[in-house]
Amino acid sequence: MSGEYDKIIKETISDISDVLISKVLGINVVESTPLETKLQITDEREADFILNVTTVEGENFVLHIEFQSTNDAGMAYRMMRYWLYITQIHKLPIV
């Protein structure tokens, strides 16, 4: 049932999105263009090292280490994906 309401809300708000963005978020829009909302991605990652660590102080976290031999402009995005996946799977803070 929620999908039905989502469609109604999206159709209604699309006509007034620029006004909502301006009034609610304080962003003065000159132009906005809708983008595809379906985000279907198949993505398999293999990290270099992921360890479940418990310290002497009793802290428990995931230690994630990646080695990179060259500069990679997309490294921050890669690390963000790792952070998201590791956090979702292990439900622990990541260092």
pLDDT digits (tens, 9 = 90+) for 36-82: 878 888 888 889 999 999 999 999 999 999 988 899 899 999 999 99
- Name 64's bridge partners: 50
pLDDT band, residue 2 (cuts 50/70/90): low
Domain ranges of the chain: 1-38, 49-90
Q: Are 58 and 65 in contact (CB under 8 A)?
A: no
Between the CA of residue 5 and those of 1, 2, 21, 41, 52, what are the distances in Å?
7, 5, 21, 25, 42
- 78 phi, psi to nearest 5 deg: -60, -45
The whole model's pTM is what?
A: 0.65
Residue 86: is its pLDDT beyond 70?
Answer: yes
Residue 28: is its pLDDT beyond 90?
Answer: no
